[in-house]
């Protein structure tokens, strides 16, 4: 997961703010919240100072990707979320 992995508050006090664009691809608020609880990958996107990619599972157990910005140590703004494609998941598996 690398040195750019985000450390969420141990006390579970993470507040997730959602932009309307986060729901463009049919991912629900519950799915995004569950992904933050089932993190498989969380990294700073190369070339950006405050744009992060999180991979986690939705409420049905399928992998989703959420893009977000840090607001502060206890708040994030999710601005895009979508189901991971099989091609993307296969490319991740090849990197391991």
Average pLDDT over residues 61-71: 96
Domain ranges of the chain: 15-95
CA distance 63 to 78: 16
Q: Residue 88: what pLDDT? A: 77
Where is pLDDT greater, at 87 or 28? Answer: 28
Per the confidence metrics, is the pTM higher than 0.85?
A: no
The answer as to CATH 3.10.450 being correct for domain 15-95 is yes
CA distance 11 to 66: 22
> For the segment 33-53, what is each residue's pLDDT rounded down to a tens digit?
999 999 999 999 999 999 999
> For the segment 11-27, what is each residue's pLDDT rounded down to a tens digit?
568 899 999 999 999 99
**Alpha carbon distances (Å) from 1 to 13, 46, 82:** 22, 13, 20
- pLDDT confidence of 96, banded at 50, 70, 90? low
Average pLDDT over residues 75-96: 86
């Amino acid at each position: 997961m690398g040195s750019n992995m985000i450390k969420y508050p141990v006390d579970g006090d993470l507040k997730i703010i959602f932009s309307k664009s986060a729901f463009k691809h049919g991912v629900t608020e519950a799915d995004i919240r569950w992904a933050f609880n089932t993190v498989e990958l969380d990294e700073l996107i190369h070339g950006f100072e405050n744009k992060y990619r999180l991979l986690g599972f939705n409420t049905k157990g399928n992998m989703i990707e959420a893009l977000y910005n840090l607001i502060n140590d206890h708040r994030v703004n999710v601005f895009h979320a979508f189901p991971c494609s099989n091609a993307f998941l296969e490319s991740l598996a090849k990197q391991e």
